[in-house]
Structure 1
Amino acid sequence: MSSFYEELEKRGEELGMAREEMALYAAKRQGEFTVEDYRRLPDEVRAELIDGELIYMEAPGYTHQELIMELSVELVNYIRANKGACRVVQSPLDVQLDCDDRTMVQPDLIVICDEKKIVRKGIYGAPDLCIEILSPSTRKKDCTLKVQKYMNAGVREYWIVDPDKKAVITYRFEGEDIPGISMYTFQDKVPVGIFEGSLEIDFQEILGRLRFC
Structure 2
Amino acid sequence: MKAPTFHEGIKYSYRDYLQWDDEQSWEIIDGVPHNMAPAPSSKHQEVLGNVFALFHQYLKGKRCKVYIAPFEVRLSESGLDEETFNIVQPDLTVVCDRKKIDERGCNGTPDLIVEVLSPGMAAKRDKIVKFELYERFGVKEYWIVDPYHENVEVFLLEEGKFGNRQVYVKGDVFAVSLFGDLLIDLNAVFQEESFE
Instruction: Report the TM-score when normalising by structure 1.
Output: 0.81
Tell me which of 95, 116, 128 is aligned to 1:112.
95
Tell me which of 135, 138, 141 is aligned to 2:125.
141
Moved over 6 A (4+): none
Gaps of at least 5 residues in structure 1 are: 1-16
Higher relative contact order (CA 8 A, sep 6+): 2
Instruction: Report the TM-score when normalising by structure 2.
Output: 0.87
RMSD across aligned positions (CA): 2.0
Q: Which residue of structure 1 aligns with residue 146 of structure 2?
A: 162
Q: Which residue of structure 1 aligns with residue 157 of structure 2?
A: 173
More displaced 10-residue stretch of structure 1: 159-168 or 186-195:
186-195
Deviations 1:107-145 (A, max 9, x none): 000110000100121100110000000001411000011
Tell me which of 46, 50, 75 is aligned to 2:29.
50
Deviations 1:16-40 (A, max 9, x none): x8xxx45x624x2255222122122
Of the two, which has the highest radius of gyration? 1
> 1:86-97 maps to which residues of 2 (within 5 A)?
86-97=64-75
Q: Greater share of strand residues, 1 or 2?
A: 2
Work out the CA distance in 2 between the residues paired with 1:119 and 1:113. Answer: 13
Q: Which residue of structure 2 aligns with residue 33 of structure 1?
A: 12
State the one-letter code of the partner of 2:29: I
Number of matched pairs: 187
Q: Are residues 141 and 88 of structure 1, via their aligned partners in 2, closer, same or farther at CA, if it must alter by over 3 Å? A: same
Tell me which of 34, 56, 65 is aligned to 1:76.
56
**1:165, CA displacement in angstroms?**
1.3
- Whether contact under 8 Å (1:168, 1:184) holds in the other structure is yes
Q: Secondary structure at the match of 1:130?
A: strand
Identity %: 34
- Whether contact under 8 Å (2:151, 2:167) holds in the other structure is yes
